Amino acid sequence: MSILASLTPPEGLRVLVTAGAGGIGHAIARGFAETGARVHISDVDASAVEAVTDERITGSVANAADDAETEALFAEAVDSMGGLDVVIANAGVAGPTAGVGEISTAEWDQCLEINLRGAYLAARFGAPELVRSKGSFIALSSVAGRLPYAYRTPYAASKWGVVGLAKSLAAELGPEGVRSNAILPGIVKGPRIDKVISARAEQLGISFEEMREQYLAKVSLRRMVTPEDIAAMCLFLASPGGGNVSGQALSVCGNVETL
């Protein structure tokens, strides 16, 4: 196999992407489908799932933080595709923007449940299939999983936890031939970061544009990344060329220097 060919995932991979009906998740699903993979996505929004499914991308309605719904999701995916080669734990929420003393227990729990518990459940129900296929587990963390993030403590705590989960799985499942990595996106273009910027701007009493410029000033390349940038890293990790990459926290962020 040529080096160039090794950078493309083999055709026919069986891929599950949680929260795959929009944003980063949908870009990942589309990217794998373009390589000839069969992709099964989940989302909590039934209409969103229906809108993006086709002959290559099938879907289920499931809450990534719910045990029973996630177990059913994996059963449906395995039943329809005959197994799994790649599991991508992508589900996540931004959580509150506030000082730690102003964040309620309910807000903290919701953020940790979806971001960290959701990744754990994907690993729990995906691991047996990945052991059979000697596959790849990819968890979406954040640059907030390697840097301190004031006023976003639940989000940062959950994303540091996702890195720990992915690294620990690499050690646990590596002897079975399973690779496990975390991807750490930076500031990703889209409505989610716009809401975060708006909330922080309101808190500081400045304009959205001023706040946006402050965010980009912390990025060496002075630009946001796109969902397609994250999808490209997922494709590499599932390709033969990424076959010896495991236990890593891989930033795709334009080099975010601080948060």
Residues annotated as part of the active site: 155
Torsion of CA 241, 242, 243, 245, to 10 degrees: 140
CB atoms within 10 A of CB 59: 25
CB atoms within 10 A of CB 166: 28
What is the spatial distance between Cα 169 and Cα 30, in angstroms, rounded to a whole number? Answer: 26
Residue 241's H or E segment, with its range, is none
Sign of dihedral through CA atoms 206, 207, 210, 211?
positive
Helix/strand/coil percentages in the chain, nearest 5: 50, 15, 35
Q: Which residue is it, tokens 């990025």?
A: 219
